[in-house]
Amino acid sequence: MNVLSQLSLQTAFTQLNFNQLLSQYGFIDFVLPFLLIFSLVFMLLELSNLLKVSSDDAVGRKLSAIFSFGFALLSIYNQNLVKWLLSFIPNATIAIIGFTLIVIVLAITNKKVPGILRAFFAFLVVGIILWLAINSLSITGSTQSSPLTPLLSYTLNYLMQSGILTLLIMFLLIFIVLMWIAGGGEKKTEEEEEKIGGPILLRSR
Amino acid sequence: MDFSSFIYNLFSEYGIFTFLAPFLLVFSLLYGSLRKIGLFGRDNPSKEKLYAVISMVIAFYYLYNISDVIFTSNFISFFFFEVLVIFFILMIIALIADISEPYKGDEEFQRYKQSSYNGIVGFMTLSVLFAFLYASSVDFNGLGASAQNIIIEIMLELIYTGLLPFLIIIGFIIAAIYWIYRKEPPKKKRNPIKIFPRASGEALIDLSEHTRR
């Protein structure tokens, strides 16, 4: 037991030192974000051929590289981005591992996921990743509050106090009711038509 | 002071972040764009030099206002974060797409799928607007202040002149007229609430497959 606890302590110590060493030499705060941003932006530029005259344009390729270099350096200047990446990427990687495990389990069963579950999974992925991203953004609050928020609340207050909001809601309700009535009528006639248009033998009787 | 802070301070001090990086970004973008659109003709022998000079001059003008550089830094960093989020979403969805059966559906389903697809692509382009709003909210001294002032001015103008309720009511009337005079829907129309989520999910998976091609 004692040996085990010593070993775990040693492992924790080594890990802490290694992480510290990486951080100390700017690997996590500087090198990794730079490489990630540079490679992604360069890949997107190469895919879109945005700065190339033709697909084998060497100058265009160099310009894409320079643009990506500048983009990466200028992005790192915002230190919040480094914090977002540090918070978002590990969690998103866990999500990738989780979904990969689901894929592995489903591969064992050798059955394809049906259409309805496929759509559900797509929404689940979007939800989880967006939630993680918003969580990462919330770790760095903005330095000043935006003046757009009080303006929006002022607009809402104005609409409420002047009675326009009530009027609009009433209009909306009337509109919805009208749509419902009109839509329902169509459905009923359709159903009736369907009933009428049943088997010819039955209709002839 | 650790090494990363030292590098950061050194880069800031020697203008790597505020001079070199924005210069390279703007210069390469302008030079590449000018080459691509070929504004001064394709056969002009000195066009490349002209493009380079024009790009360089504009890039230096851009660097003159440091708050614009900081605004750009916030703008592109947030935009990159959004791109990364989209990248992760597409990566995981592509994993799922391989082990699932596509749902073909009928013509109506395909129509919903196409409109969902267009909606998703449109929403993705909104990421630029979100990045702009983020940069505006962070940096008031830069371009953010003027950009937000424009939005505030427009909103206040709409409220004080009474145009806002008028526009909303006109919108309702147009919607009503459109609803009345639109083309007759197909007879056996299914409940869109039931089809739409499924069609949107399919559109998301389609998007990841299109990206892979």
Closest CA to A64 of B121, B213, B35, B66: B35
Give every CB contact of residue B84 below 8 A, 6+ residues apart in sequence: A36, A40, A85, A88, A89
The residue count for chain A: 205
Greater confidence, B199 or B54?
Answer: B54
Rounded to an integer, what distance in angstroms lies between the CA atom of residue B205 and that of residue B102? 9
Helix (H), strand (E) at residue A76: helix A58-77
Portion 132-191 of B in contact with A at CB < 8 A: 133, 136-138, 140, 148, 151-152, 155-156, 159, 164-165, 168-169, 172, 175-176, 179, 187-188
The residue count for chain B: 213
Q: Do A119 and B202 touch (CB under 8 A)?
A: yes
Greater confidence, B138 or B142?
Answer: B138
pLDDT band at A7 (very low <50, low <70, confident <90, very high): low
Lookup result for tokens 């890039």: B59
Closest CA to B82 of A152, A137, A110: A137
Rounded to an integer, what distance in angstroms lies between the CA atom of residue A30 and that of residue A162? 54
Rounded to an integer, what distance in angstroms lies between the CA atom of residue B152 and that of residue B53? 38
Q: Do A158 and B22 touch (CB under 8 A)?
A: no
Q: Do B99 and A130 touch (CB under 8 A)?
A: no
> Span A10-32, mean pLDDT?
72
Give every CB contact of residue B113 below 8 A, 6+ residues apart in sequence: B105, B199, B200, B202, B203, B206
Residue B22, min C-alpha distance to chain A (Å) = 6
Q: Is A119 exposed, middle or buried (0-12, 13-18, 19+ CB in 10 A)?
A: buried
Q: Which long-range contacts (CB under 8 A, 24 or more apart) does A20-29 make?
A: A23/B2, A23/B4, A24/B2, A24/B3, A24/B4, A25/B3, A25/B4, A26/B2, A26/B3, A26/B4, A26/B7, A26/B8, A27/B4, A28/A86, A28/B4, A29/A82, A29/B4, A29/B8
Lookup result for tokens 């490349």: B48
Give every CB contact of residue A66 below 8 A, 6+ residues apart in sequence: B24, B27, B28
Rounded to an integer, what distance in angstroms lies between the CA atom of residue B211 and that of residue B181? 38
A72, A181, A205, B125, B152 from A149: Cα distances, Å: 31, 38, 70, 23, 11
Q: Is A58 exposed, middle or buried (0-12, 13-18, 19+ CB in 10 A)?
A: exposed
The pLDDT assigned to A187 comes to 47
pLDDT band at A94 (very low <50, low <70, confident <90, very high): very high
> Span A163-187, mean pLDDT?
70
Best of A75, A153, A161 to disrupt the B interface by mutation (most B CBs within 10 Å)? A75
Q: pTM of the predicted model, to two decimals?
A: 0.69
Query: Chain A contact for B89, CB < 8 A?
Result: yes
The pLDDT assigned to B134 comes to 80
Tens digits of residue pLDDT in B8-58: 888 888 888 889 999 999 999 999 998 888 877 777 777 888 889 999 999
- Residue A195 pLDDT exceeds 60: no
- Residue A71 pLDDT exceeds 90: yes
Q: Which of A59, A66, A103 sits opposite B96 (nearest CB)?
A: A103
What is the SS3 assignment for B156? helix
Residues of A in contact with B141 (CB under 8 A): none
Q: Return the bridge partners of B99, or none.
A: none
- Residue B204 pLDDT exceeds 50: yes
The pLDDT assigned to B47 comes to 83
Query: Chain A contact for B15, CB < 8 A?
Result: no
The pLDDT assigned to B45 comes to 77
What is the SS3 assignment for A142? coil
> Span A78-104, mean pLDDT?
89
The pLDDT assigned to B212 comes to 65
Q: Which of A75, A85, A113 sits opposite B100 (nearest CB)?
A: A113
Rounded to an integer, what distance in angstroms lies between the CA atom of residue B196 and that of residue B27? 45
Tokens (6 digits) for B174 = 């147009």
Rounded to an integer, what distance in angstroms lies between the CA atom of residue B64 and that of residue B71? 13
Could you tell me what percent of chain B has a pLDDT over 90?
15
Residues of A in contact with B96 (CB under 8 A): 99, 102-103, 113, 118, 121-122, 125
Q: Return the bridge partners of B100, or none.
A: A113
Mean pLDDT in chain A? 76
Residues of A in contact with B164 (CB under 8 A): 155, 159
The pLDDT assigned to A41 comes to 93
